Amino acid sequence: MNSTSASAAVTPQPLFITPPEVFSEFSHHHPSVARINNGGFGCCPSSLISSQRQIQLQWLRQPDEFFFNQLQPGMLRSRNVIKELINADHVDEVSIVDNASTAISIVLQHMAWGFAEGKFRSGDATVMFHCTYGAVKKSVEAYFVRAGGYVIEVPLPFPVNSDDEILQEFRQALEKAKQSGRSVRLAIIDHVTFMPTVVMPVKQLVSICREAGIDHIFIDAAHGIGCVDVDMKQIGADFYTKNLHKWLFCPPSAAFLYCRKSNEISALHHPVVTHQYGNGLATESSWIGTRDYSAQLVVPKVLEFVNRFEGGIDGIKRRNHDAVVGMGEMLGKAWGTHLGCPPHMCSSMVMVGLPACLQVSSDQDTLKLRTYLRDKFGVEVAIYYRPPKDGEVGPLTGYARISYQVYNKIKLLELDTDTEKLLLLLLLLWIIDITGKKYLSLLQPKATTLPLSH
Amino acid sequence: MQHEDPRNGESAHRSSKKPKLSSKFITESDIRDEFSHHHPRVARINNGSFGSCPGSVLTAQRHLQLQFLRQPDAFYFNTLRDGITASRKIIKDFINADHVDEVSLVDNATTAAAIVLQRIGRSFAEGKFQKNDTVLMLHCAFQAVKKSIQAYVTRAGGSVIEVRLPFPVNSEEEIISEFKKSIEEGKSNGRKIRLAIIDHITSMPSLVIPVKELVRICRAEGIEQVFVDAAHAIGSVKVDVKEVGADFYVSNLHKWFFCPPSVAFLYCKKSSSSSDLHHPVVSHEYGNGLPVESAWIGTRDYSSQLVVPAVLEFVNRFEGGIDGIMKRNHDEVVKMGKMLAESWGTNLGSPPEMSAAMIMVGLPSRLCLNSEEDAVTLRSHLRDRYEVEVPIFHQVFKDGEEGVRDKDGFITGYLRMGKRAKCFIRNEEAVMKVRAAFHGINICVLPSSDACGITQFLKNQTKKRKEHRRRKLYASWKPRNGESCCLRGCNEVESLGTYAFLLAIDKAETSNVGIGMALLQMVRIHWSMLDQPKLLKPWLWVKHV
């Protein structure tokens, strides 16, 4: 080996993570399941699981010392990392919570107090899209409606062809509210809807809300970071929440709630009250009684992991998007169906129409189909039922929501687990088309006779 | 080690399962292994705050966490719900509840308090309660509960009555009479008491409250609902929710029941209004009953709730199961507490029958603990300097109140000692360290063979101390094997053991008689605690400087 001058000249570039390394990071995933539902529960690489374990052991080793000396600084570090990531102004605007469901409860509880304390009148409304996540709808029922509020649901056109279709529906709903004399106190907008999945034009929706004088705008971005660009100042909402375990590789579970600095921010409280009550939501959320905070403390390590990929989180996002759109289009062509929305409205997930012969005709069917695919084929994919509208002829009623994350391997020329599975699926459906409905009888055990092929 | 697969739902054999009749019970060295992840040098006598969890349970938990990560959708659809139901069934049997629907699993008692108080807040907001209707609580209720009352009750227009508990306390009657007085006050001016919050075991200062009697009084006085905050109860005292008779009862499982952080159960007696209890974090399960709501509050790690079957297995490895553990904890902590109080000339905060696995021991008044800050400073000092983890309580006296005195003044500080049966073998050393700290005594444990080294060490110490202008008194006394000897003013001490103690005593603080007493106590304690009299040979150096 030569002297220092020579070695300085050949200092190697830091290598990006390689495919075998990615494979080993996710080697704890079930090896024979094609996991194309990252949007459901997310994923977490082994190196982060180890980091999390370190933190857990530190707590168990000497919990009092950890509580007094390490917990709060650790949470603050995580919050600072997130603040940088989302371009928030101040770290006080960033609170860490368990998940988006917790975040929505915080905001809605605040709204409920608005009614109880006379700031809002009975009948004041909230506006949200009809495909808003189930937990959010229930939370609205539990806090907003119960306190005297009214809900305006905006139908989301689906399949959808452009942002304008969505904006149009939204404007119409607000117009109707105005005409009926209701004050709209809160708008709940998904950044990326859950089912069916579509990237919403949030910036424009927020401007429409501001024009209409809506007090509070809450963006539910459970699928935000790692899926779409997230910039708080650009988006301009009052509240924004995002799960970090879905697309940002955190162990379950961690999420942040961004609350734009305003007079009201000090009135927001975590529903689980501790001695930190009154010290600001961020501080309240960082101690809600004895529990395992390791998933929230490990956030700085998450950034380290993400930056091992070429292009960091943006690179991952871009590649996910391209891959999933490619997969979706391939399936759409093979099945003779189509995507639920144009590629620019897809994130790292895409809705692909299922062949009509599958006759998905209810939410129950989607569950049965999903279970069938899991148990018989080892394919994990979410299925959506889209009810036909009046007057529609031969619409597609079933869609598969396909996700792509770094651990998926879909290269059409390489046969590996995931692709094999998809091909099997294709084959299966092709067989069904020919033999007709044999598979359906397996889904509907109530049928006593096996329908004959025709 | 074989563990019951926590993935199994309610298996047929579980309900008829008796405690494992293993060939032997868990041994000392097994216990050391189970808790080998604890900091080896820290004397942990504060189990009450954050609890502890054995290695085998942590392994079971890890297994569950990996299962989720392996295939989360399948876990969610096939394993999670059944696993939590299995845990709830175990708890239901333990606490003698009627029906598993009465048992919900939540993160901790703080969450349970939020659930109950949120409903009270709603009742005020929806006009079911009148403004100024009251909630009753003990003045030493846990701080989080007090804040929760502020957040949900006071904010909604309710008022609060605090029952001032006497401390130190001599009998249950003292508590009962204060309680009755406060109820009178709460009902004055035509107000209704809507909820009484009673601790089963208070946190600071720690006392076992006669809950059964207090609940009976509440019923007799027409108090609508009673919530028992028993954060410390399960694993410390017997828990029988039907006997206690409250409407709501919560206890943490990670404090004294060996669960990983964190999990607690909330028992809600079946009634017409129990369907109106909701978890504050709302999911699609809203409206399906609190147990079902609590079993899914969004994506998160539920492993600590699923691991309860493994915990039960662990507990049954001890002789007498959880009952045996509780009894031994109680006996040991009372013994340790009494010994400390005697050697310091102070008192216990309550009679032994009003303590469970924790006891309050009066601190010598010459420590001059005059504020909450002093208590925190002392606690940090003990942690950093002596590696002892123990919470300190500062007693605030109302005007005209007088506390207990020791020979030097009023006792204003108490130490809360919590004992986990034989899990921390260094407890006796911890106790000695604690004692030594307050006597201004430094303890070094040196091999007894190193006589010259010890003398040299002493000389060095003397020099150092002189530099710091502290007057030190070193005592030296060396009995021969089998010889019994006298210290001035003390009783006979037998010579025992192989350890040597080096004592440096601050002369300004103790008289010679005091030193003698301290030495005597030190020897006795070590002798009795280690239970190995033949091996102990105290070589005590007490040398005047």
- Residue A115: closest CA among chain B residues belongs to which residue? B125
In eight-state DSSP terms, residue A358 is: G
Residue B282 touches partner A, C-beta closer than 8 Å: yes
Residue A192 and residue A311 in contact, taking contact as beta carbons nearer than 8 Å: no
Average confidence (pLDDT) over B446-467? 43
B515: nearest Cα among B408, B405, B436, B410: B436
- Quick check: A266 pLDDT over 60? yes
Task: Return the minimum-mean-pLDDT range out of A209-223, A341-355, B87-101, B448-462.
Answer: B448-462
pLDDT tens figures, A420-433: 556 666 665 554 44
CB-nearest to B108 from A113, A146, A290 is A290
Q: Name the residue with higher pLDDT: B116 or B501.
A: B116
**What does the DSSP assignment read for A288-352?**
SSS---HHHHTHHHHHHHHTTSTTHHHHHHHHHHHHHHHHHHHHHHHHT--BSS-GGG--SEEEE
pLDDT score at A119: 93
Task: Return the minimum-mean-pLDDT range out of A1-10, A184-193, A415-424, B137-146.
Answer: A1-10
Choose, out of A65, A105, A290, A363, the residue to mutate when testing the contact with B (most B CBs < 10 Å). Answer: A290
8 Å CB contact of A274 and B143 = yes
Among 3.40.640.10, 3.90.1150.10, 3.40.50.920, 1.10.3720.10, name the CATH number for the domain at A70-304: 3.40.640.10
Q: Name the residue with higher pLDDT: B41 or B200.
A: B200
Residue B150 touches partner A, C-beta closer than 8 Å: yes
CB-nearest to A41 from B44, B278, B299 is B299
Contacts A99 to B, Cβ<8 Å: 297-300
pLDDT score at B42: 81
8 Å CB contact of A243 and B148 = no
- Quick check: B99 pLDDT over 90? yes
Burial pattern A276-300, b for ≥16 Cβ within 10 A else e, equals bbeebbbbbbbbbbbbbbbbbbbbe
Q: pLDDT band at B118, cuts 50/70/90?
A: very high
8 Å CB contact of A253 and B111 = no
- Residue A98: closest CA among chain B residues belongs to which residue? B300
pLDDT score at A430: 52
**What does the DSSP assignment read for B88-157?**
HHHHHHHHT-S-GGGEEEES-HHHHHHHHHHHHHHHHHTTSS-TT-EEEEETT--HHHHHHHIIIIITTT
- Quick check: B542 pLDDT over 60? no
- Residue A148: closest CA among chain B residues belongs to which residue? B126
* Domain regions of chain A by residue span: 70-304, 312-388+396-448
Task: Return the minimum-mean-pLDDT range out of B109-118, B317-326, B439-448, B457-466.
Answer: B439-448
- Residue B109: closest CA among chain A residues belongs to which residue? A289
Q: pLDDT band at B415, cuts 50/70/90?
A: confident
Average confidence (pLDDT) over B284-290? 94
Residues 86-115 of B with CB under 8 A from A: 107-111, 113-114
Residue B423 touches partner A, C-beta closer than 8 Å: no
* Degrees to nearest 5, angle at CA A152 with A108 and A150: 55
pLDDT tens figures, A135-162: 999 999 999 999 999 999 999 999 999 9
- By percentage, how much of chain B surpasses pLDDT 70? 72
Average confidence (pLDDT) over A16-28? 90
pLDDT score at A121: 94
Structure tokens at B56: 């085998």
pLDDT tens figures, A242-261: 999 999 999 998 999 999 98
Residue B468 touches partner A, C-beta closer than 8 Å: no
8 Å CB contact of B144 and A273 = yes
d(CA A124, nearest CA chain B) in Å? 17
Distance CA B295, CA B86 (A): 12
pLDDT score at A201: 94
Structure tokens at B243: 């006997």
* Degrees to nearest 5, angle at CA B292 with B291 and B295: 90
8 Å CB contact of B298 and A273 = no
A406: nearest Cα among A32, A89, A35, A14: A35
Task: Return the minimum-mean-pLDDT range out of A332-336, A433-437, B104-108, B495-499.
Answer: B495-499
Residue B508 touches partner A, C-beta closer than 8 Å: no
8 Å CB contact of B144 and A289 = yes
pLDDT score at B386: 76
Contacts A291 to B, Cβ<8 Å: 107-108, 261-262
pLDDT score at B433: 56
pLDDT score at B545: 21
Task: Return the minimum-mean-pLDDT range out of A25-29, A287-291, A387-391, B277-281.
Answer: A387-391
Enter the ipTM.
Answer: 0.86
CB-nearest to B261 from A43, A61, A292 is A292
pLDDT score at A321: 92
Average confidence (pLDDT) over A403-431? 61
Task: Return the minimum-mean-pLDDT range out of A7-16, A209-218, A328-337, B298-307.
Answer: A7-16
Contacts B388 to A, Cβ<8 Å: none
| Interhelix angle A312-335/A299-306, nearest 10 degrees | 70
Q: Name the residue with higher pLDDT: A451 or A374.
A: A374
Distances (CA, A) of A437 to A359, A370, A401, B53: 9, 17, 23, 54
pLDDT tens figures, B485-494: 222 222 222 2
- Quick check: B522 pLDDT over 60? no
CB-nearest to A291 from B38, B108, B155 is B108
CB-nearest to B148 from A43, A273, A371 is A273
- Quick check: B399 pLDDT over 80? no
Residue B254 touches partner A, C-beta closer than 8 Å: yes
CB-nearest to B151 from A60, A98, A277 is A277
Average confidence (pLDDT) over B136-140? 94
Average confidence (pLDDT) over A45-64? 94
- Quick check: A339 pLDDT over 90? yes
Q: Name the residue with higher pLDDT: A332 or B495.
A: A332
- Residue A37: closest CA among chain B residues belongs to which residue? B73
Contacts A33 to B, Cβ<8 Å: 71, 74
8 Å CB contact of A252 and B155 = no
**What does the DSSP assignment read for B61-100?**
HHHHHHHHHH-HHHIIIIIIHHHHHHHHHHHHHHHT-S-G
pLDDT score at B417: 80
- Quick check: B467 pLDDT over 60? no
pLDDT score at B436: 53
8 Å CB contact of B51 and A371 = no
Contacts B50 to A, Cβ<8 Å: 63-64, 67, 290
Residue B66 touches partner A, C-beta closer than 8 Å: yes
Distance CA B56, CA B398 (A): 48
d(CA A38, nearest CA chain B) in Å? 10
CB-nearest to A28 from B70, B73, B278 is B70
8 Å CB contact of B286 and A138 = yes
Pairing between β-strand B134-138 and β-strand B159-163 as defined by DSSP bridges: parallel
Distance CA B481, CA B205 (A): 45
- Quick check: A100 pLDDT over 80? yes
Average confidence (pLDDT) over A55-70? 93
pLDDT score at B76: 95
pLDDT score at A410: 52
pLDDT score at B39: 86
Distance CA B64, CA A112 (A): 37
pLDDT score at B428: 53
CATH class as words, domain A312-388+396-448: alpha beta
8 Å CB contact of A374 and B51 = no
In eight-state DSSP terms, residue B377 is: H
In eight-state DSSP terms, residue A363 is: H
Average confidence (pLDDT) over A367-377? 86
Contacts A35 to B, Cβ<8 Å: 71
pLDDT score at B28: 85
Pairing between β-strand B539-541 and β-strand B499-506 as defined by DSSP bridges: parallel
8 Å CB contact of A289 and B53 = no
Residue B166, SS3?
coil
Q: pLDDT band at A301, cuts 50/70/90?
A: very high
Choose, out of B105, B123, B301, B392, the residue to mutate when testing the contact with A (most A CBs < 10 Å). Answer: B301
CB-nearest to B283 from A40, A135, A271 is A135
A440: nearest Cα among A342, A358, A344, A341: A358
Residue B324 touches partner A, C-beta closer than 8 Å: no
Average confidence (pLDDT) over B415-438? 55
d(CA B430, nearest CA chain A) in Å? 15
Average confidence (pLDDT) over B183-196? 89
**What does the DSSP assignment read for B514-544?**
HHHHHHHHHHHHHHHHHT-GGG---EEEB--
8 Å CB contact of A269 and B152 = no
Residue B135 and residue B153 in contact, taking contact as beta carbons nearer than 8 Å: yes
Average pLDDT, chain B: 77
End-to-end CA distance of chain B: 57
Choose, out of B63, B69, B372, the residue to mutate when testing the contact with A (most A CBs < 10 Å). Answer: B69
In eight-state DSSP terms, residue A452 is: P
